[in-house]
Chains A and B, each alone.
Chain A
Amino acid sequence: MILANTETLPGYRILKHIGLVQGCTVRAKHIGRDIMAGLKNIVGGELKGYTELLSEARAEATRRMVEQAQQLGANAVLNVRLATSSVVQGAAEVFAYGTAVIVDQEPGA
């Protein structure tokens, strides 16, 4: 599966547009991490627990999007967008969406 955040794929030609695919997840860290992050917030700097939380969430959202694309028979997802929102306090919602397409390597590329 090829993922790209561009609209075209250099060296490939788009055979078929399948449509929008998306994946989302909402995750929280356990309360200990929340408290530590609250403490760290006083000092400032990176909140490692939350960095981890968001990267895990992003990986999961992307995985779900890819799964959906595979189900539809695509072999690439173009114009991938990642967005984050906070629906529940202390939890992160991450969603990924893109256009599932079937691509083929251009002759000579």
Chain B
Amino acid sequence: MIELIFEIGIPLLLLVVTFVTGIWVERAHLRSLELREKNCRDLLVTNLRRLPEGIVPRGAFLCVGSVVMSVNYFQQFLVWIKRIFGGRLGTVISAMERGRREAMLRMIEQARAQGASCVLNVRLETGSIGGGESGGKGLCAEVIAYGKGVRVR
């Protein structure tokens, strides 16, 4: 009887708990992203290599931002079910989207701290650490954003 409780009860409890915390964590992250993005509107961030005409550069340096995102127990369960039927994996999309915004923001914040007003030639890369090709159990991926911060006269 006790074994049964452990085998079914604990995963069930985890599902319920992570369902709630998942929503909470996502909302908090989105709020923080929106707030920080508002402060970064004045910087020009582009993946073009050249400055817009009329802007005179004063110096440049590399800016990097990275973040490792994961999905929680409940969301992994959803992914597992969704894979049977196919289609869009909403929870993973949300995590990756937030990860990309977070990595970009960290890059932009670094650029700003060093006095840049433009970030040029931005690249976004993804690497999977768990799950995916590497075959790990959990589901996590790293997102890196890097670009050239330019100080402007």
- Interface residues in chain A, defined as those with a beta carbon under 8 Å from any beta carbon in chain B: 7, 14, 17, 19-20, 22, 24-31, 33-34, 60, 78-79, 81, 83, 85-91, 93, 95, 97-99
Q: What are the interface flags for B33-46 relative to A under an 8 Å C-beta threshold, 1 for contact and 0 otherwise?
A: 00000000000111
Known: A17-B48, A20-B104, A95-B124. A88 touches B131 (CB 8 A): yes
Known: A24-B100, A87-B96. A19 touches B131 (CB 8 A): no
User: Cα distance A95–B79 when bound, in Å?
Assistant: 19
The B contact surface, by secondary structure, is: mixed
User: Cα distance A91–B97 when bound, in Å?
Assistant: 16
- Interface residues in chain B, defined as those with a beta carbon under 8 Å from any beta carbon in chain A: 44-50, 52, 79, 82-89, 92-93, 96-97, 100, 104, 122-128, 131-133, 135, 139, 141
Q: Could you list 19 examples of A-B contacts with CB < 8 Å?
A: A17-B44, A19-B46, A26-B88, A26-B96, A27-B86, A28-B86, A28-B87, A28-B89, A29-B86, A30-B85, A31-B84, A83-B124, A86-B133, A87-B126, A87-B141, A89-B132, A91-B89, A91-B92, A93-B141
- B residues less than 8 Å from A90 (CB atoms): 83
